[in-house]
């Protein structure tokens, strides 16, 4: 276990009480918090951060996954304007698989992991359910509901992982972790900020809600079902095999739906440089960190820390794109990070 030095430095940076003092932090990641340091919520955050927080490899990877995924989302935002969702999703998965294979061979050797038939089915099935099927449902829900409403449904993820982990793995939250769970969930909901151009009218609300809930449920099930395999097997091999199952599953689903040509065809030019960068961060590296988080810590803790991706997206959009979220967004950020601190303090 390693002391959470990053949290201590952030707390120190947030001690500024007015804009004059904030000048010390110009250009740093703490600058956006200037002017909000008198908030009672921020005071709670500072107290939590100053506590004896301990953080392990699983927690580090789960939070890193959230940060890297947020970077990927910012990059994907531009790609969605030029590529249809189905083609974009397939191309990024193929690129990630192509990158994972040589990295896996270099780091973990050429020998396949020692898996039984049931474990092979779980790993490949996790890719099919959690990426191929879940993504298909997700994009259907996105088209029916719009990004804003789908973002709200996405908050079902961590509660579903908590429930499934208890039922399937006998893993549960303890003590103050429940308060941390509540604070993170409240912070994410409070700061659920969607730019006006990302919003849309719900064209098929019932169908969209069902598709959206089913996609999130499958994502949660897909990760919980391979938790024990992840714990016992090499991380990169399991990540690669899961992505292989996803790519094959996407092709099978597209063939059944008569959309196989749409996966690779199309008249729109592909911005390969941006796509490779987005796939590398938003899918490849984020997926390795994401699965690593579940490998090295409990599933409920990993899932709740993953939820902070929404907060990091808000912060990166603020820092990189100048899209200031306002007081409600700041309150959501402080609530969420207070919850993270409580999660890392254990039961």
Distance CA 167, CA 160 (A): 11
The distance from CA 38 to its chain's CA centroid, rounded to whole angstroms, is 30
Counted residue by residue, the chain has a size of 347
Q: Which residues of the chain have pLDDT under 70?
A: 1-54, 77-82, 146-149, 151, 192-204, 266-268, 346-347
Task: Give the chain's domain count.
Answer: 1
**Distance (Å) of CA 5 to CA 54, 117, 185, 264, 295:** 9, 43, 24, 46, 23
pLDDT score recorded for residue 269: 78
262 and 86 in contact (C-beta within 8 Å)?
yes
pLDDT score recorded for residue 308: 87
pLDDT score recorded for residue 239: 97
Helix (H, G, I), strand (E, B), or coil: what is residue 55? strand
pLDDT score recorded for residue 37: 42
Distance CA 347, CA 345 (A): 7
pLDDT score recorded for residue 238: 97
Query: H or E stretch including 192?
Result: none
Give the residues across from 271 on adjacent strands: none
Distance CA 287, CA 134 (A): 15
State the pTM of this model: 0.78
Distance CA 19, CA 38 (A): 12
State the residue range of the domain holding 36: 2-344
pLDDT score recorded for residue 347: 60
Distance CA 320, CA 141 (A): 29
157 and 307 in contact (C-beta within 8 Å)?
yes
């Amino acid at each position: 276990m390693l002391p959470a030095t990053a949290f201590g430095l952030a707390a120190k940076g947030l001690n500024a009480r007015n804009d004059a003092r904030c000048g010390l932090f110009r250009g740093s990641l703490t600058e956006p918090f200037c002017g909000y340091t008198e908030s009672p919520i921020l005071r709670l955050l500072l107290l939590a951060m100053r506590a004896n927080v301990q953080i392990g490899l699983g927690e580090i990877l789960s939070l890193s996954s959230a940060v890297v995924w947020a970077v990927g989302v910012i990059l994907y935002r531009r790609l969605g304007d030029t590529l249809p969702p189905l083609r974009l999703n397939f191309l990024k998965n193929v690129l990630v698989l192509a990158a994972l294979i040589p990295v896996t061979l270099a780091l973990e050797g050429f020998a396949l992991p020692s898996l039984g038939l049931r474990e092979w089915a779980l790993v490949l099935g996790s890719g099919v359910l959690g990426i191929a099927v879940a993504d298909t449902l997700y994009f259907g829900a996105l088209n029916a509901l719009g990004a804003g409403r789908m973002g709200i449904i996405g908050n079902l993820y961590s509660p579903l992982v908590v429930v499934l982990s208890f039922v399937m793995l006998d893993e549960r939250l303890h003590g103050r972790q429940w308060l941390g769970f509540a604070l993170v969930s409240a912070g994410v909901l409070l700061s659920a900020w969607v730019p006006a151009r990302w919003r849309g009218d719900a064209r098929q609300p019932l169908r969209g809600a069902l598709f959206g809930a089913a996609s999130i449920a499958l994502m949660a099930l897909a990760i919980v079902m391979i938790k024990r395999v992840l714990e016992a097997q090499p991380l990169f091999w399991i990540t690669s095999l899961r992505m292989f199952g996803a790519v094959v599953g996407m092709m099978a689903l597209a063939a059944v739906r008569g959309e196989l040509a749409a996966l690779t065809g199309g008249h729109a030019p592909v911005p390969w440089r941006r796509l490779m960068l987005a796939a590398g961060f938003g899918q490849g590296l984020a997926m390795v960190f994401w699965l690593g988080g579940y490998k090295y810590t409990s599933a409920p803790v990993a899932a709740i820390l993953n939820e902070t991706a929404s907060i990091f997206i808000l912060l990166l959009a603020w820092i990189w794109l100048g899209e200031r979220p306002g007081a409600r967004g700041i309150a959501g950020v402080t609530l969420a990070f207070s919850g993270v601190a409580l999660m890392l303090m254990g039961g």
